[in-house]
Structure 1
Amino acid sequence: MLAAQFMALLDVFIVNVAAPTIGSDLNASGADLQLVVAGYAVTYSVLLITGARLGDRFGHGRVHLAGLALFTAASLACGLAPGSTELIVFRLAQGAGSAVMIPQVLSLIQRTFVGEARMRALGAYSAVLAVGAAAGQVVGGLLVGADLLGTGWRPVFLVNVPVGLFLLVVGRRVLPLGAGARQAPARGLDVSGLVLLGAAVSLVTVPLVLGQEEHWPLWSWLSPAVGTLLFALFCGYESRLARRGGAPLIAPRVLRHPGMGLAVLRIGSVMAVNGGFLFVLTLHVQAGLGYSALRAGLTFAPTAVVFGVVGLTWRRWPAAWQRALAPAGFTLTALSVAEVGLALRGGDQGGVWVYPAYAGVGVGLALAFSPTLTRALAAVRPEDAADASGLLATVTQLGQLIGVAAFGALFLNRLESLGALEAYTSSEALLTCMFALAATAALGAVSGLVLRRR
């Protein structure tokens, strides 16, 4: 299950370092490349909650394998795509496969493990979930840099095919295919809620993806406002449906669960910082400093390695520290991303001091994310596992998508105002973004503390 989770998460960011090669090979426009990168995340985030509900209705193991099959087939199609239009369509299908596959991981953990075993499983889950973004940059750089048999960018998608086929064979043998159906009564699909939520998420996220390329036309400002209104309508509709005894996409009692609101806030904040940091730093080192795809990918190795280590070991730290880990992680993240910006200022490559800053980002993000996710899910009742997993997985993806779009737009706008692209102007744009990321991380710590007191 975690292998499939890791593979799907790689594909959120693995395309970043391959984008320049894809653009030149397929003669793709800037808007095409943005849709190739973000189209996966859009369908992923829109359909996650529905994927969770499908598992609750038809069995989590069975639905996981169905999503894995779709993801694997779409990965093959992406790797063989003859043009940018086909690649965009197949990326949307890939995201849909992930949305069906991934929510079942948390649901099966919740339904299969209890007590200390569940805590260990959730710790491993959160480490894999968070390290996937940084690892995607590294793996993407390695695959593009290797240029296997002259295939250029295509292995970043084709690598999923043998892994997916292997997991399908193993999964049929080891997964409890009917777990969801046996342990919880089947609930109907809330089609009206799905339409409202899908429209709301699309109206908010698509302008963030395409607004910069289109120079922020009027529709890109009106669309998020309409999306926000639809989201309010969705919340009202779901509450009324629950009061009538229906089956909403997310049970209101999950949202009212102690600590869930704080978890949503913190997870959304930390993943926005994570996504924005990785994206703008990739733009800087490739376009500004002229790094190859391989070198750009390896730049994120310290962040990925430290993130994984901390995510797997934080529970062994002294009990007296546990409450302070998340705010301390946000604080360390704020200091470290600011240090990255200062180390790379002036067009420099940062020297030896940039590597402790990269590692500090990994430690800080892991401490802000892993304990928050683990504690939020450890106390959720098994019958609410699908709702909680869909909700937090959606928040994770939306946080990353919004971080990429918002901080990427800030970087590109700042770069445009500074003039010609060169190492110095790119580093100044990066510094602006790093300070904005630091401020966001600081707000994540403070807001979380205030909300917990309330």
Structure 2
Amino acid sequence: MRHMADSRAQRALAVCLVAAFMAGLDVSIVNVALPSIQRGLGATTDSLQWIISGYALSFGLVLVPGGRLGDARSRRAVFMLGVALFTVASAVCGLAPGVGVLIGARVAQGFAAGLLNPQVSGLIQQLFQGPSRGRAFGWFGATMGVSTAAGPVIGGALVTAFGPEHGWRWVFLVNLPIGLVLLPVARRVLPPPERERKRQESMDPVGVLLLGLGALLLLLPFIQVQQWPGPQKWLLVPVALGLLAAFVWWERRYPREPLVSLALFEKRSYSLGSTLGLLYFAGFTGIFFIYTIYLQIGHGYSALTAGLSIMPFALGSAASAVVGGRLVTTIGRRLTAAGLVVVLAGLLLTILALWLVPGEYVGLATALPLLVAGIGSGLVIAPNQALTLSEVPPAKGGSAAGMLQTGQRLGSAMGVATAGSAFFGTLRLGWSAAITFGFAVVVAFIAAALAAALYDVWRGPTG
């Protein structure tokens, strides 16, 4: 059955969004708990970095094979596997007796999130068509915005409530009741595999290996840019590009169903949307990284207060994502271009506020400009995902979404590395100069994303 009744599809969407919220929450909630983890487990700064980067690495590496597995076998089964593994890994994180166990469990959490996320996009592709698909992606974008906003605030509140020694454990344990409720509901509500997709298709193990190693070596130097001194780490980049070239060669010649259909990139909607997503994530992810450091270290903000200061961006994004999902079908790429213009305007106003009010009230001064930038962001992420996947057959929705999200993860790593390098490299000039140079990198990435969107508008509709 290709499409379910509307009420059943809405229930399935609700289950998907709860799971996406759980996985999205763990991206941002952990950052504010790092000082508590350091005190509670005696973790080194390198260990703290791996608590974050281990999750990001495994998340990014599993997205494409996870999406392919759902397409070829059963999205419901892979979704439930992801939820179960995420729940168990969260319990291990919360009960970890040492930092080594915590890092291993975080890697497992990222693995589970990589299985889970492409199933959400694939199920939206499968269950909805036309304008309703755009609205579903709008709710997906809003959910991710809310989880991003709620993460630092919930994390700060839990650490405050349970104390600096053990509060960090509840940052992970909060996932347990969500996962335990999700599993039986998902079994009942999500669609079973379609008859024509029950055949045992090859998982293209050589393609999985080449793409996984290539992505790992490409991501690693960006993720470890602060912890791995010296230029040697950048030697991994040409090796990674060679492996990715070998992956493309293999996929073109693989006699069975490939891991990624390269024909997708011949569609302008997919290739340009993937490029835009990479550039935009390189920009907006860097905002949270450098601004949090600026507030907490530069101005002595607590974890909770810093989270509240960033919240206007995420709340604006969550609110406008719903609107963007409703408008994308009629406005198309012009909507993402307009959203990028609003993001740039909000960021330029944020830079102005940082210079005008550089003291303890800087969080209040940047609230409105960040809200404006967040409103623009909501008109970019979810609409771009809907447009990028618009010409993808539903049967390939998971792997296509996995590839799109892998590019976004790579963009995030690049953005954090480059914005962080600009920020720390100019810190000797003062906090105001450092945050300005960091935000300048962010603005450059988003301007490049705008150029891609305007090029698509200039070319006219696809098809």
For 1:230, the aligned partner's letter is: L
Q: Do the aligned partners of residues 13 and 319 (structure 1) sit closer, same or farther apart at CA in structure 2, a change above 3 Å counting? A: closer
Q: Do the aligned partners of residues 185 and 212 (structure 1) sit closer, same or farther apart at CA in structure 2, a change above 3 Å counting? A: same
Q: Do the aligned partners of residues 395 and 411 (structure 1) sit closer, same or farther apart at CA in structure 2, a change above 3 Å counting? A: same
SS in 1 for 2:31: coil
Contact between 1:38 and 1:401, CA under 8 Å: does it hold in 2? Answer: no
TM-score normalized by the length of structure 2: 0.89
SS in 2 for 1:154: helix
Structure 1 portions without partners, runs of 5+? 419-424
Contact between 1:22 and 1:28, CA under 8 Å: does it hold in 2? Answer: yes
1:369 to 375, 381, 397: 381
For 1:410, the aligned partner's letter is: A
- Compute the displacement of 1:396 (Å): 2.5
For 2:94, the aligned partner's letter is: G
State the match for 2:56 in structure 1. 41
Contact between 1:133 and 1:275, CA under 8 Å: does it hold in 2? Answer: no
1:112 and 2:127 correspond: yes
1:78 to 83, 86, 93: 93
- Compute the displacement of 1:368 (Å): 2.1
State the match for 1:139 in structure 2. 154
State the match for 2:169 in structure 1. 154
- Compute the displacement of 1:451 (Å): 5.3
More divergent stretch after superposition (352-361 vs 220-229): 352-361
1:285 and 2:295 correspond: yes
- Compute the displacement of 1:315 (Å): 4.5
More divergent stretch after superposition (203-212 vs 63-72): 203-212
Structure 2 portions without partners, runs of 5+? 1-15
SS in 2 for 1:176: coil
Contact between 1:184 and 1:383, CA under 8 Å: does it hold in 2? Answer: no
State the match for 1:342 in structure 2. 352
More divergent stretch after superposition (48-57 vs 385-394): 385-394
For 2:113, the aligned partner's letter is: S
Q: Do the aligned partners of residues 399 and 142 (structure 1) sit closer, same or farther apart at CA in structure 2, a change above 3 Å counting? A: farther
SS in 2 for 1:177: coil
Q: Do the aligned partners of residues 200 and 351 (structure 1) sit closer, same or farther apart at CA in structure 2, a change above 3 Å counting? A: closer
1:234 to 242, 247, 261: 247
Please give the alpha-carbon distance, in whole angstroms, between the structure 1 residues aligned to 2:234 and 2:97. Answer: 34
Please give the alpha-carbon distance, in whole angstroms, between the structure 2 residues aligned to 1:351 and 1:76. Answer: 34
State the match for 1:407 in structure 2. 419
Aligned positions of 1:1-80 closer than 5 A: 1-80=16-95
1:304 to 308, 314, 325: 314
Q: CA RMSD in A?
A: 2.2
Contact between 2:137 and 2:325, CA under 8 Å: does it hold in 1? Answer: no
Q: Do the aligned partners of residues 446 and 335 (structure 1) sit closer, same or farther apart at CA in structure 2, a change above 3 Å counting? A: same
Contact between 1:56 and 1:187, CA under 8 Å: does it hold in 2? Answer: no
Please give the alpha-carbon distance, in whole angstroms, between the structure 2 residues aligned to 1:11 and 1:403. Answer: 19
SS in 2 for 1:18: helix
More divergent stretch after superposition (381-390 vs 348-357): 348-357
1:382 to 360, 385, 394: 394
State the match for 1:422 in structure 2. none
1:126 and 2:141 correspond: yes
Q: Do the aligned partners of residues 144 and 203 (structure 1) sit closer, same or farther apart at CA in structure 2, a change above 3 Å counting? A: same
Q: Do the aligned partners of residues 9 and 315 (structure 1) sit closer, same or farther apart at CA in structure 2, a change above 3 Å counting? A: closer
Deviation per residue, 1:179-204 (Å, 9 max, x gap):
4x654754211111111111111111
Please give the alpha-carbon distance, in whole angstroms, between the structure 2 residues aligned to 1:8 and 1:443. Answer: 29
Aligned positions of 1:222-301 closer than 5 A: 222-241=235-254, 244=255, 246-301=256-311
For 2:238, the aligned partner's letter is: A
For 2:36, the aligned partner's letter is: T
2:114 to 94, 99, 112: 99
Please give the alpha-carbon distance, in whole angstroms, between the structure 1 residues aligned to 2:226 and 2:362. Answer: 29
Deviation per residue, 1:181-232 (Å, 9 max, x gap):
65475421111111111111111111112231232x2431101221122112
Q: Do the aligned partners of residues 344 and 88 (structure 1) sit closer, same or farther apart at CA in structure 2, a change above 3 Å counting? A: same
Please give the alpha-carbon distance, in whole angstroms, between the structure 2 residues aligned to 1:267 and 1:413. Answer: 27
State the match for 1:431 in structure 2. 436
Q: Do the aligned partners of residues 79 and 292 (structure 1) sit closer, same or farther apart at CA in structure 2, a change above 3 Å counting? A: same
Contact between 1:72 and 1:161, CA under 8 Å: does it hold in 2? Answer: yes
- Compute the displacement of 1:316 (Å): 4.6
Please give the alpha-carbon distance, in whole angstroms, between the structure 2 residues aligned to 1:177 and 1:322. Answer: 32
More divergent stretch after superposition (129-138 vs 54-63): 129-138
- Compute the displacement of 1:453 (Å): 4.4
Aligned residues: 442
1:192 and 2:206 correspond: yes
More divergent stretch after superposition (95-104 vs 368-377): 368-377
State the match for 1:221 in structure 2. 234
Please give the alpha-carbon distance, in whole angstroms, between the structure 2 residues aligned to 1:353 and 1:319. Answer: 36
Deviation per residue, 1:391-430 (Å, 9 max, x gap):
1222222222322233223322322x44xxxxxx333211
- Compute the displacement of 1:47 (Å): 0.9
More divergent stretch after superposition (321-330 vs 273-282): 321-330
Contact between 1:31 and 1:210, CA under 8 Å: does it hold in 2? Answer: no
Deviation per residue, 1:256-308 (Å, 9 max, x gap):
22311111011112212221101111111111111111111111221121111
Please give the alpha-carbon distance, in whole angstroms, between the structure 1 residues aligned to 2:27 and 2:44. Answer: 20
SS in 1 for 2:97: coil
Contact between 1:335 and 1:438, CA under 8 Å: does it hold in 2? Answer: no
Q: Do the aligned partners of residues 156 and 320 (structure 1) sit closer, same or farther apart at CA in structure 2, a change above 3 Å counting? A: same
Please give the alpha-carbon distance, in whole angstroms, between the structure 2 residues aligned to 1:48 and 1:326. Answer: 24
Contact between 2:343 and 2:376, CA under 8 Å: does it hold in 1? Answer: yes
- Compute the displacement of 1:110 (Å): 1.5
1:443 and 2:435 correspond: no
